[in-house]
Amino acid sequence: MTQKPHVAIFPSPGMGHLIPLTELAKKFALNYDLSSTFIVPSIGPPPEAQKKVLGSLPEGINYISLPPVSFDDLPGIRAETQISLTITRSLSSVRDVLKSLAASTRLVALVLDLFGTDVIDIASELSVPSYIASLSTGCGISVHGRDLPDPIQDRKDDAYKWFLHHSKRHSLAEGILLNSFVDLEPETIKALQDQELGNLPPIYPVGPIIYSGSSIGASGHECLQWMDDQPNGSVLYISFGSGGTLSFEQLNELAMGLEISEQKFLWVVRSPDKSASASYFSATSNTDPYSFLPKGFLDRTKGQGLVVPSWAPQIQVLSHGSTGGFLTHCGWNSTLESIVHGVPLIAWPLYAEQKTNAVLLSAGLKVALRPEVDGNGLVGREEIAKVVKGLMQGEEGAAIRRRMKGLKEAAAKAVSEEGSSTKSLHELVSKWKN
């Protein structure tokens, strides 16, 4: 009996990288009878969120955790640099796992994300074709320098050098999977597929790939019971993703802005930090976030809003009838989740490629309002109240809602049986199986 085709999947550290790749693996298993093994690098003990996701994978999808990497010799380095170094410091372990998979399975491909390009060399040694899963937008709109990812803005920073290093290695892959779909970025995807942008391997738009699991602990979550009692489309959901944190001053301005907007809100709050990506690797709040809110805020907004610490079952919230808007950090996973559920946005980017996504959403697709930052680098309470009211009640908000409804329909069509993304994935898997 011939062995089932097997795919090795290498996510770089961070929940935002792991989740879309686990969803891709589920598609491989359920629709194409492909088995897969995750090779998971780590910086320390795995966060609870990661344990839950890996522990709930269906049959045919396995995972191997690599020995943790230490950064005691490099305190205080940027998250982006830490991700790349975690991978280079894990390469000998990766080689051992890939060798063993190549010997024990019918290994047809290695799928890795943008930070994992150094693993391509090991796969080549073993004659296994590598594919890069680009977990963000193709982004073909004009972007001002200030809206490029932070590491690209400082050429002296190691993160900039790593960015260039990985970008130059894209051409070594056999193909690039894009977590986007043709109707979302038609011109960009056409240009990428027509090779107008130079030396790129074939592009496969296979999105939107979003989290499909029932969030563990979601069904009885207090916020969903609270949402059940709110009017249809009345609640603004606020979350800065699994890794985003605000400064103390910004947290206060956001609280006061929400209060004076008089709009209903559900706010996933984390304790503040000077670094916007402070909870990137842990995906939880470091201390009790309630103690940092303005004095009396929770009492004054009791009927108006609900504040929950660290985490909410986002998919269930976005698909709830009471949700009328989403104030988001513009991480690509959250962006696609809001498109799939047709929820209009307030774009509030923090780090990584989020500012570029915010430009695409506000200026390109026109499905988001973007608050202006003042001279001190803060979004002030009056600006917050104005934008929140504008989205939830204004004419502009209504127009955004209509455009987002169109994208929701296009997203559903892309992943339907005859849809463009389904065909694209089918083409790729057929290549592997043959």
Mean pLDDT in order along the chain per 10 residues (434 residues): 90 92 97 97 90 94 96 88 94 98 98 96 98 85 81 85 91 96 94 76 96 65 95 98 90 98 97 75 70 96 94 95 98 97 97 92 97 96 98 96 98 98 98 94
Contacts of 403 by beta carbon, 8 Å cutoff, 6+ apart: 365, 366, 367
The sheet carrying 264-269 orders its strands as 305-309, 264-269, 235-239, 323-328, 345-347, 368-369
Domains 5-207+417-433 and 222-411 share a fold: yes
CATH architecture of 222-411: 3-Layer(aba) Sandwich (3.40)
Q: Has 221 been annotated as catalytic?
A: no
Q: What is the pLDDT of residues 221-269, one digit of tens each?
A: 889 999 999 999 999 999 998 778 999 999 999 999 999 999 999 999 9
Token duo for residue 122: 């090991």
User: Would you state the pLDDT for residue 9?
Assistant: 98
What is the predicted pLDDT for the residue at 19? 94
User: What pLDDT is recorded for position 284?
Assistant: 64
Q: Which of 6, 17, 166, 329 is flagged as catalytic?
A: 17
Burial (CB count <10 Å: 0-12, 13-18, 19+), residue 284: middle
Domain ranges in the chain?
5-207+417-433, 222-411
Q: Report the alpha-carbon distance of residue 90 to residue 67 in Å, rounded.
A: 8
Angle between helices 420-433 and 395-414 (to 10 degrees): 30
CB 334 within 8 A of CB 230: no
Q: Is there a catalytic annotation at residue 228?
A: no
The active-site residue out of 113, 147, 183, 273 is: 113
pTM for this prediction:
0.94
Tell me the CA distances in angstroms from 20 to 27, 230, 371, one per residue in order. 11, 31, 28
Specify the pLDDT at position 148. 83
| Euclidean distance between CA atoms 427 and 134, whole angstroms | 17
- Class of domain 5-207+417-433 as given by CATH: alpha beta
Identify the pLDDT of residue 143: 81
* Under 8 Å between Cβ of 28 and 9: no
CA-wise closest residue to 359 among 136, 171, 189, 155: 136
| Amino acid sitting at position 301 | T
List all residues 6 or more positions away from 433 whose beta carbon is below 8 Å from its beta carbon.
Answer: 5, 32, 108
